[in-house]
């Protein structure tokens, strides 16, 4: 199967962000004919205040019912282009709670999976900036996989990447591709992004597919930058495709036969004792 990762510069104008996602997906489909299109974390809204994020949030519909603007944009991409869509993430509202949530769709726009980000980014980066994702979001609790054609997809989001135990659990649940929609900061991304993606691919012997935010956005009065460098990594740790600077996309084939070869050559799962 062929995967395309979309690289976006999402800001705090939801309608413009959804238009950007639609346009980038259409261009990827036109040029590369992928089977699966993958969007970045918080593709629908990024920046602003906590109140702004909550205002952009959407309640998830019952399966088969109509949803909000971001939900329907993702479903529309799947339906109009006949592709699977791994919807990065957007802000989900559930009563008084909010979550950073991935939705995936099949080629006809049928919902395949929902995943709420488990690990929340509450850190101080080397440049002194404070990030408090828990001020906006609650944490998910469920490990989620789904089938897209002959591929079993495992779900993760951004900061999840630092927790190898989640990726091991996804691989043990049968995932042969693990998605990493992200908005890695410039400060952490330049040193850790590629290293972590390749490490998770090698450890789990899966393909790792990472669609990222790029460029700058306003967070209150503070301008913040995302690292970008969306990429697709094979189970040997090789980078198969990487997006250029700025908004765009990158595409690569995922070959299950090759994955099986890697797992046969170095049978890590069979050798594991702990």
The pLDDT, as a whole number, for residue 190 is 96
Residues with Cβ within 8 Å of 238's Cβ and at least 6 positions away in sequence, in order, are none
Residue 98 pLDDT grade (very low, low, confident, very high; cuts 50, 70, 90): very high
The DSSP line for 44-94 is S--SS-HHHHHHT-BPPPPTTS---HHHHHHHHHHHHHT-EEE---EEEEE
pLDDT score, position 124: 87
Confidence of residue 274 (pLDDT cuts 50, 70, 90): confident
| Enzyme catalytic residues | 41, 117, 158
| Top-confidence residue, 50 or 186 | 186
Tell which wins on pLDDT, 84 or 49.
84
CATH number for 162 = 3.60.110.10
Please tell me the predicted confidence (pLDDT) of residue 126: 80
The percent of residues above 70 in pLDDT, for the chain, comes to: 100
At residue 16, does pLDDT exceed 90?
A: yes
Question: What was the pLDDT predicted at 150?
Answer: 94
The total number of structural domains that make up the chain: 1
Distance CA 132, CA 118 (A): 14
Average pLDDT along the chain: 96
| Residue of higher predicted confidence among 132 and 180 | 180
Q: With bands split at pLDDT 50, 70 and 90, how would you rate the model's confidence at 162? A: very high
pLDDT of residue 127: 79
Structural domain that includes position 167? 2-271
pLDDT digits (tens, 9 = 90+) for 190-229: 999 999 999 999 999 999 999 999 999 988 788 999 999 9
- pLDDT band, residue 152 (cuts 50/70/90): very high
- pLDDT attached to residue 205: 98
């Amino acid at each position: 199967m062929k995967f395309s990762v979309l690289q976006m510069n999402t800001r705090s104008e939801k309608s413009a962000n959804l238009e950007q996602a639609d346009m980038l997906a259409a261009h990827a489909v036109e040029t590369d004919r992928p089977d699966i299109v993958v969007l970045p974390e918080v593709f629908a809204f990024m920046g602003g205040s906590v109140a702004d994020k909550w205002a952009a949030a959407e309640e998830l519909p019952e399966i088969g019912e109509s949803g909000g603007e971001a939900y329907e944009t993702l479903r529309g991409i799947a339906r109009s282009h006949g592709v699977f869509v791994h919807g990065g993430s957007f802000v989900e509202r559930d009563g008084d709670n909010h979550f950073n949530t991935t939705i995936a769709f099949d080629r006809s726009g049928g919902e395949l999976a929902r995943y709420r980000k488990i690990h929340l980014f509450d850190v101080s980066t080397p440049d002194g900036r404070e990030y408090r994702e828990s001020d906006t979001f609650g944490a998910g609790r469920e490990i989620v996989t789904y089938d897209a054609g002959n591929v079993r997809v495992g779900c993760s989001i951004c900061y999840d990447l630092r927790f190898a135990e989640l990726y091991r659990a996804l691989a043990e649940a049968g995932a042969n591709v693990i998605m990493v929609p992200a908005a890695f900061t410039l400060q952490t991304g330049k040193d850790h992004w590629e290293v972590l993606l390749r490490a998770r691919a090698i450890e789990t012997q899966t393909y790792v597919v990472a669609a990222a935010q790029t460029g700058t956005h306003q967070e209150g009065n503070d301008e913040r930058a995302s690292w970008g460098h969306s990429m697709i990594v094979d189970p040997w740790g090789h980078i198969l495709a990487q997006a250029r600077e700025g908004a765009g996309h990158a595409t690569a084939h995922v070959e299950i036969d090759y994955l099986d070869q890697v797992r046969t050559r170095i049978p890590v799962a069979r050798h594991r004792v702990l």
